[in-house]
């Protein structure tokens, strides 16, 4: 998520060159927009076309007695009311009713009229120009224009998202006609990287946000009962924390957490996401009649302009595999530093990473040794990079040779981005019944505190937190499986040095590093040895991408 005020009418000099709507240096785009398919506004009542919305609506006022300026004032229409009015009139005229009734707001106050009747209706994203243009509104009293300006200012963020959506759809259509398979909406992603890293980082970000546009990933997350129930239970069981509060949902996805907060009594919920799923979130909000509380904004949290200065609560489901894969926590911490009130609450509030050795496992036999004899054939070349990648699977808790130990604890109210790249020690006592160290298993626990000053002991497990009355969950192998599963780090060619006996202490360090140009991926290095043989430690690097 990264910087740009999403006001569509103001584009800075520094960003204009990357604006897909800026055709100054692009002859191809100039040809498409100016020569082949100029944008025109179609009349509400006939087939006449106009070069702008103001002249079309003036025509409708003079020839059809349809005065949108007066209707807006008399009926008290907000921006969405105007959208519904336009689509209602187009729908009625299309059905043969040349004089649709507009005497009452209730006639067209149905969410079905949020759906455009006319494909690529330029009027819908030109309405702001109509009411911000004094000349076009010269038939309205000055006081009305002032009121419109004030009301439009409060709706600016919502309108920007809607306009961006309409423009994106029109650009995508042009792209298809020009043979360009890339979506214009994804092409708008910007970066704060230097020139050397910009292209790779933008491409990686584009793929990342595109991956969250598909139903399957959101289905797996919502169906993860451990995850979704924990958020729901915390929000619904602590409605006193949310009542009349302003909440920011970073990376809102389908909007499920935002709707939980709205149902819990929040005064305003601002739902932000940079993938196409934000369109579905917006539909979900309207379908469930929560549009007066939940406002959906498309963009990176570092770029969008919120309609408020501060929020009381930040809620986000930011966790990735091995906790920090995808680096979404960076954006959540940005949101905290920029928008959270001094006494505001992070939901969830605490996270911890845990590690345990894997020994004498069936997993190694099925994942590695399998290739040594496949229907009688030696297929060991398949193992060339098998030990370089983190494997995400559900592990058997009975194959862990020690109790798990924490190696990173985060209090989300105080954590810094720099804390997310680290080298941390760990040490554990070897249990009986295990011999050969074959790898390591990593997972995380999440805790929801009700107050930023609430005492959460360092290293506290989710189970311990629940016993103390807190909402919490674990992604470890001893609890119900989650969609995060566990990260498995298999050691290449375990040998004599990896043999332990009961009571031995195994100690080491684990390092998390972000990949340059692919900051959402991780390089993870683990070193280990018997505590009594520190000078003979071994280490290995794995990739999580």
- Residues 6 or more apart in contact with residue 239 via CB below 8 angstroms: 264, 265
Report the SS3 class of residue 14. coil
**Rounded Cα gap, residues 11 and 18, in angstroms:** 10
Report the SS3 class of residue 83. helix
The token pair that represents 128 in the structure block: 């702001």
* Residues shown for the chain: 545
Positions marked active-site: 317, 326
Specify whether the CB–CB gap between 290 and 266 falls below 8 A: no
- Residues 6 or more apart in contact with residue 136 via CB below 8 angstroms: 54, 57, 58, 129, 130
CA dihedral 189, 190, 191, 194 (to 10 degrees): 130
Specify whether the CB–CB gap between 506 and 530 falls below 8 A: yes
**Rounded Cα gap, residues 490 and 474, in angstroms:** 22
The token pair that represents 21 in the structure block: 């709507």
**Rounded Cα gap, residues 48 and 122, in angstroms:** 14
Cα radius of gyration rounded to whole Å, the chain: 28
The token pair that represents 217 in the structure block: 């990933």
**Rounded Cα gap, residues 515 and 543, in angstroms:** 9
Instruction: Compute how many other C-beta atoms are within 10 angstroms of the C-beta atom of residue 267.
Output: 13
């Amino acid at each position: 998520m990264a910087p740009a005020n999403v006001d569509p009418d103001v584009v800075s000099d520094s960003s204009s060159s990357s604006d897909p709507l800026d055709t100054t240096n692009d002859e191809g785009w100039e040809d498409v927009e100016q020569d082949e398919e100029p944008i025109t506004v179609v009349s509400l009542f006939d087939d006449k076309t106009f070069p702008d919305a103001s002249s079309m609506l003036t025509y409708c006022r003079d020839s059809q007695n349809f005065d949108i300026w007066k209707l807006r004032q008399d009926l008290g229409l907000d921006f969405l009311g105007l959208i519904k009015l336009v689509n209602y009139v187009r729908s009625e005229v299309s059905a043969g009713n040349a004089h649709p009734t507009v005497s009452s707001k209730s006639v067209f106050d149905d969410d079905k009229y949020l759906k455009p009747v006319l494909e690529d209706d330029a009027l819908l994203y030109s309405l702001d120009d109509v009411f911000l243009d004094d000349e076009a509104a010269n038939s309205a009293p000055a006081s009305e224009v002032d009121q419109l300006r004030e009301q439009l200012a409060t709706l600016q963020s919502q309108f920007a998202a809607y306009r961006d959506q309409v423009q994106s759809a029109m650009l995508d259509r042009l792209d298809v006609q020009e043979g360009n398979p890339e979506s214009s909406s994804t092409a708008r992603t910007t970066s704060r990287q230097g020139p050397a890293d910009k292209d790779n980082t933008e491409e990686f970000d584009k793929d990342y946000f595109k991956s969250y546009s598909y139903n399957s990933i959101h289905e797996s997350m919502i169906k993860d009962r451990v995850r979704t129930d924990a958020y729901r239970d915390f929000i619904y069981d602590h409605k006193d924390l949310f009542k009349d509060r302003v909440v920011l949902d970073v990376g809102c996805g389908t909007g499920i957490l935002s709707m939980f907060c709205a149902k819990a009594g929040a005064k305003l919920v601002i739902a932000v996401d940079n993938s196409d799923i934000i369109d579905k979130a917006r539909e979900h909000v309207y379908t469930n009649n929560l549009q007066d509380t939940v406002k959906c904004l498309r963009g990176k949290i570092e770029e969008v302009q919120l309609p408020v200065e501060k929020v009381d609560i930040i809620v986000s489901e930011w966790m990735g595999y091995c906790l920090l894969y995808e680096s979404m926590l960076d954006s959540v911490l940005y949101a905290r530093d920029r928008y959270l009130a001094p006494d505001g609450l992070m939901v969830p509030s605490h996270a911890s990473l845990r590690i345990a050795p894997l020994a004498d496992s069936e997993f190694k036999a099925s994942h590695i040794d399998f290739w040594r004899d496949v229907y009688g054939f030696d297929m060991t070349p398949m193992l060339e990079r098998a030990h370089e990648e983190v494997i995400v699977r559900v592990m058997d808790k009975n194959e862990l040779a020690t109790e798990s130990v924490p190696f990173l604890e985060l209090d989300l109210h105080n954590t810094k981005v720099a804390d997310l790249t680290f080298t941390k020690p760990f040490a554990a006592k070897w249990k009986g019944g295990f011999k050969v160290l074959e790898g390591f298993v990593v997972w995380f626990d999440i805790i929801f505190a009700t107050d930023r000053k609430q005492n959460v002991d360092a290293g506290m497990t989710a189970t311990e937190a629940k016993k103390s009355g807190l909402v919490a969950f674990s992604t470890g192998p001893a609890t119900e499986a989650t969609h995060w599963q566990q990260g498995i780090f298999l050691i290449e060619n375990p040998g004599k040095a990896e043999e332990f006996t009961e009571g031995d202490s195994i100690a080491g360090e684990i390092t998390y590093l972000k990949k340059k140009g692919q900051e959402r991926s991780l390089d993870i290095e683990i070193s280990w040895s018997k505590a009594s043989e520190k000078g003979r430690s071994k280490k290995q690097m794995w990739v999580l991408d």
